[in-house]
Chains A and B, each alone.
Chain A
Amino acid sequence: MTFANGYSTRRVDTMMGTRTENKTQARKSASPNFVSANGTRVGRPTSPSRDRLIYVLTCLVGHHVEVHVKNGSIISGIFHATNADGDFEIVLKMAQVIKDGSVRERKSDHDNIKKPQPMVIPARELVQVLAKDVSLSSDEFTAGQSCEKQKDLMTDSVISHSHHLDMARELAPWMPDEEDPECPELENIFDGSFDRKWDQFETNEALFGVKSTFNEELYTTKLERGPQMRDIEKLALKIAREIEGEETQDLHLAEERGFSYHDDFDLDEESRYSAVRREVNDTGFRENENSDMEAYGSGIFAGSLGLATSGSCSDSLSKQIGNETQASSTSSSVVEEACLHTLADKGLGLSSVDANNELKSDCIARSPSFDDEIRLDDNQIKDQGGKSERMAIQDSQTSIDVNMSIKLEEVSISAPLYDPSSSSQGNIVTESSDSPVRGKFPAASESVDPPIRQGSSTSSSEYVRAESNRPFLSPSTSCGSLSSEKSTLNPNAKEFKLNPNAKSFTPSSSVRLHAAVPDGSFYQASNVNAVQHMHGLPPGMGVGPSFSHQPVFYNPQAAQIQSPQAYIHPNGPVYGQQMIVGQHPQFYYVQSYPPEMPHKGRKF
């Protein structure tokens, strides 16, 4: 609400000597409407000069001012009111005497501090009033007032979108001042080598007596340190290097690895560096899935020291297998390559597992160069063999894929390294017997180097061809194709018994199935442990790209279901192989962790 003073017609050449016409004018225009700051009407004959003074004083209301008084004291406070009718006494709120004129000696400031209180300064004491940063006209007002009004609540978005609100704040990109001596550290912060001598916990304890209860193993896999540690570590580093040197379609990974991405320089900072997920279509998902697999690949193989890690790989793979099962023309993904050629290092001799699996046969060609790689113990080989198998299934024939996936799963599951019982893995487990498959799989994990990789030998030409023929797809998609037609894949899983009492699952946008659980209880202990090792492996298939990350809790009443047959994600694509839940509504998605899977490619 604005209030106009009647200044518009006032002549301003002189203030002195109220000219008659000015007086009349002023009185007419000013006196009837003008209300002084403290609410009293200006009854006296006003002069334009007085009006101006009153105006200025009004502008000062709420402003922090300093009042100098006759005895030399200075009082600081918030200007509250003045007596415009009288002699212009000043009323201040939250006022304090900051300098006492009667005291000559210099004293410690705080000895005299009293609580701030309202003060009235009589006109005869007044010497001068000082005010800083006062805005006197409407131009200054609008910029100032609106800013001040909202100063308390200004958020960044408000400031940056100032065009909406006319904030009149000129935004300029931040530039550092001349090299502040303290700032250069920021530039070099990563240049120095990692200081292994500094222990943050020790420091904290010394400084503040805070004892740390940090145990690394609570948060990550326990490293098995043993005689083979060095070998394993070397191998892991090698694998990591290979993976990190790969080409990638993912924007972020490409940047990390130093590849220029796609010659597409339309990307602004946001798409390059924002963590906000923008891709919602399948294509995007595939691309990201690809990177996911890479991430997993490097993560898993580089740290191929724990079972859980391998387990997680299989888990994630299985999960991804669930997607896009109809990836009929899935091509080998980079991840697959990664996994494959890393596995190839193991010197595994893979024989063709399935005659129908063209790719398998392609992969058989063993790269001699890999034979002299570090040999891992059998477990790991088998382990990774299983995984590579899984990943290697980039076949266009879905059924084959399915079969293969089943077998792969079988291998991985039955690998002795896997603690989690196969029951928990559930989804893409074949019921075919383990042993023959196992025998075949390790061989099949022969990796075929992608043609793009330098230094990798032996790519079978067929493989290359196969790869080029197929549209680029992430391994997840290809793995997705592995989703089995057969629902009961896990030979060790308990047989599914329909539980008519279990609540029917109603897909909702947020998959919070625990709401559907009748008594809200969670999956029971034994299974939970098993599932934990799976790192979120869903027994069900068909996780759509937009799968929500909510853990879904198993209905204990339906506990017989060790491997739910199919989970149709409400937002995900429905693939042919999956069992459509018709009569059997109790398909719960078991998951104890938020899925790592739809991890859009950003490996931190």
Chain B
Amino acid sequence: MEGGNGEELAVGCVLSLRTTLGDEIEGQIIAYDRPSNILVIHILLALVNPMSLLFLFDVSLSSILFFDRSATQEGSSKAGPRRNIRLLKANYIQDFTYLRKAGDPIDPNKCYIDLAGLQAREEASMRQAEIEAERIGVGVTSEAQSIFDALSKTLPVHWDKTVIVVMNEVRVSSPYLPENVSGGTPAANDRVKKVLDFERKRLQARVPG
């Protein structure tokens, strides 16, 4: 898609387009910046190419298509609940279809930016992400991670490189078998062994092979 699209890329237009990645998107244009060639589109309907998501989801290789539908009304300039937004470089648009014209999706009169709020949100997100990052072991197998997650449901656990540390006392090192449980008081040790055993059995039962 090259330039000179004039009317078609006006704000508010609803397009159905296909990207070079294979995604099919239907959405409304919020903004289009020529110099940078970035199209801001408010997604109404999206068919994501399963091939591009193969690595993201733990699904089999069947072609599963899913829809990504936003909650707002189509073509309405009324500010509703949140939207799904995509910033797409226009040079990756393979082809598109102009569906219809609608009003401006965002009301210019109501566009305010609360910088403090944004910063607060960013901080909150960062905190949350840090907490979640703590839970992920770096350089551990997914099996180890599953064990960690299972243990964390009932016991306080954290990672120490590739060693799971339970209750700050008991250490479970690779390969995370009951024999690898060490440290802590005998009672705590036994308890961790038992829980570990239990969780392993459960995981095996759930994911055979």
List residues of A whose CB falls within 8 A of some B CB: 1-5, 7-8, 10, 12-17, 37, 47, 49-50, 52-53, 55-64, 68, 72, 74, 78, 80, 87-88, 93-94, 98-100, 103, 106-111, 113-116, 123, 126-141, 143-145, 148-149, 151-152, 207-210
Which residue of chain A is the closest to B88 with respect to CB atoms?
Answer: A128
Bound Cα distance from A133 to B126, whole angstroms: 17
Chain B nearest CB, measured from A366 CB (Å): 62
Chain A residues near B145 (CB-CB < 8 A): 110
B32 beta carbon closer than 8 Å to chain A: yes
Chain A nearest CB, measured from B40 CB (Å): 5
**20 sample A-B contacts, Cβ–Cβ < 8 Å, listed by A number:** A1-B116, A5-B108, A7-B111, A14-B7, A15-B31, A50-B36, A58-B113, A59-B113, A63-B125, A74-B56, A87-B36, A93-B122, A99-B53, A128-B87, A129-B87, A131-B84, A138-B110, A138-B111, A139-B110, A144-B82
Bound Cα distance from A78 to B109, whole angstroms: 28
B204 beta carbon closer than 8 Å to chain A: no
Chain A nearest CB, measured from B9 CB (Å): 6
Which residue of chain B is the closest to A107 with respect to CB atoms?
Answer: B55
Determine if A58 and B104 form an interchain contact, defined as CB atoms under 8 angstroms apart.
Answer: no
Which residue of chain A is the closest to B192 with respect to CB atoms?
Answer: A208
Chain B residues near A137 (CB-CB < 8 A): 79, 106-107, 110-111
Q: Which residues, 186 to 209 on B, are CB-close (under 8 Å) to A? A: 187, 190-191, 194-195, 198
Determine if B121 and A132 form an interchain contact, defined as CB atoms under 8 angstroms apart.
Answer: no
Which residue of chain A is the closest to B109 with respect to CB atoms?
Answer: A8
Chain A nearest CB, measured from B148 CB (Å): 10
Determine if B111 and A55 form an interchain contact, defined as CB atoms under 8 angstroms apart.
Answer: yes
Chain A residues near B156 (CB-CB < 8 A): none
Determine if B35 and A50 form an interchain contact, defined as CB atoms under 8 angstroms apart.
Answer: yes
Query: Which of A5, A52, A55, A64 has the most chain B CB atoms closer than 10 A to its own CB?
Result: A52
Chain B residues near A103 (CB-CB < 8 A): 55
Bound Cα distance from A61 to B116, whole angstroms: 11
Chain A nearest CB, measured from B188 CB (Å): 10
Given contacts A94-B130, A114-B138, contact A56 B87 (CB under 8 A): yes
Chain A residues near B120 (CB-CB < 8 A): 62, 148-149
Determine if B92 and A56 form an interchain contact, defined as CB atoms under 8 angstroms apart.
Answer: no
Chain A nearest CB, measured from B26 CB (Å): 15
Bound Cα distance from A116 to B38, whole angstroms: 27
Determine if B33 and A138 form an interchain contact, defined as CB atoms under 8 angstroms apart.
Answer: no
Given contacts A50-B33, A53-B40, A114-B138, contact A94 B129 (CB under 8 A): yes
Which residue of chain B is the closest to A73 with respect to CB atoms?
Answer: B55
Bound Cα distance from A93 to B126, whole angstroms: 8
Chain B residues near A115 (CB-CB < 8 A): 133, 138
Chain B residues near A93 (CB-CB < 8 A): 122, 126, 129
Which residue of chain A is the closest to B189 with respect to CB atoms?
Answer: A209
B10 beta carbon closer than 8 Å to chain A: yes
B52 beta carbon closer than 8 Å to chain A: yes
Chain A residues near B12 (CB-CB < 8 A): 12
Given contacts A94-B129, A107-B55, A149-B117, contact A53 B33 (CB under 8 A): yes
Determine if A152 and B124 form an interchain contact, defined as CB atoms under 8 angstroms apart.
Answer: yes
Which residue of chain A is the closest to B116 with respect to CB atoms?
Answer: A1
Bound Cα distance from A62 to B139, whole angstroms: 28
Given contacts A110-B140, A128-B89, contact A78 B111 (CB under 8 A): no
Chain B residues near A56 (CB-CB < 8 A): 30-31, 40, 85, 87
Given contacts A78-B125, A148-B124, contact A136 B79 (CB under 8 A): yes
B174 beta carbon closer than 8 Å to chain A: no
B80 beta carbon closer than 8 Å to chain A: yes
Determine if B85 and A12 form an interchain contact, defined as CB atoms under 8 angstroms apart.
Answer: no
Chain A residues near B9 (CB-CB < 8 A): 15-16
Chain A residues near B62 (CB-CB < 8 A): none
Chain A residues near B114 (CB-CB < 8 A): 1-3, 141, 145
B21 beta carbon closer than 8 Å to chain A: yes
Chain B nearest CB, measured from A69 CB (Å): 10
Contact pattern, B 85-123, Cβ under 8 Å of A = 1, otherwise 0? 111110010000000000011111111111111111111
Chain B nearest CB, measured from A142 CB (Å): 9
Known contacts A5-B108, A100-B55; 17 additional CB pairs below 8 A are A1-B114, A1-B116, A4-B112, A5-B112, A13-B10, A14-B7, A37-B118, A49-B31, A49-B34, A50-B33, A94-B133, A109-B55, A110-B145, A116-B133, A131-B85, A136-B30, A149-B117
B150 beta carbon closer than 8 Å to chain A: no
Bound Cα distance from A128 to B9, whole angstroms: 17
Determine if A99 and B55 form an interchain contact, defined as CB atoms under 8 angstroms apart.
Answer: yes
Chain B nearest CB, measured from A64 CB (Å): 6
Determine if B137 and A110 form an interchain contact, defined as CB atoms under 8 angstroms apart.
Answer: yes
Bound Cα distance from A87 to B34, whole angstroms: 11
Determine if A127 and B88 form an interchain contact, defined as CB atoms under 8 angstroms apart.
Answer: yes
Chain B nearest CB, measured from A269 CB (Å): 32
Which residue of chain B is the closest to A37 with respect to CB atoms?
Answer: B118
Contact of A62 among B125, B130, B133, B137 (CB under 8 A): B125
Determine if B79 and A139 form an interchain contact, defined as CB atoms under 8 angstroms apart.
Answer: yes
Chain A residues near B142 (CB-CB < 8 A): 108-111
B164 beta carbon closer than 8 Å to chain A: no
Determine if B52 and A72 form an interchain contact, defined as CB atoms under 8 angstroms apart.
Answer: yes
Chain A residues near B52 (CB-CB < 8 A): 72, 74, 99
Which residue of chain A is the closest to B61 with respect to CB atoms?
Answer: A106
Given contacts A15-B32, A127-B21, A136-B79, contact A113 B10 (CB under 8 A): no
Bound Cα distance from A130 to B87, whole angstroms: 6
Bound Cα distance from A115 to B109, whole angstroms: 42
Given contacts A108-B142, A110-B137, A127-B21, contact A3 B87 (CB under 8 A): no
Contact of B11 among A52, A62, A88 (CB under 8 A): A52
B45 beta carbon closer than 8 Å to chain A: no
Bound Cα distance from A16 to B29, whole angstroms: 12
Bound Cα distance from A114 to B133, whole angstroms: 10
Which residue of chain A is the closest to B80 with respect to CB atoms?
Answer: A140
Chain A residues near B47 (CB-CB < 8 A): none
Bound Cα distance from A443 to B169, whole angstroms: 68
Chain A residues near B198 (CB-CB < 8 A): 207
B19 beta carbon closer than 8 Å to chain A: yes
Q: Which residues, 141 to 161 on B, are CB-close (under 8 Å) to A? A: 141-142, 144-145
Determine if B195 and A208 form an interchain contact, defined as CB atoms under 8 angstroms apart.
Answer: yes
A-B pairs, top 8 by smallest CB distance, nearest first, are: A62-B122, A7-B108, A52-B31, A139-B79, A62-B121, A133-B82, A129-B87, A137-B79
Determine if B113 and A2 form an interchain contact, defined as CB atoms under 8 angstroms apart.
Answer: yes
Chain A nearest CB, measured from B206 CB (Å): 17
Bound Cα distance from A37 to B118, whole angstroms: 10
Bound Cα distance from A54 to B120, whole angstroms: 19
Determine if B124 and A88 form an interchain contact, defined as CB atoms under 8 angstroms apart.
Answer: no
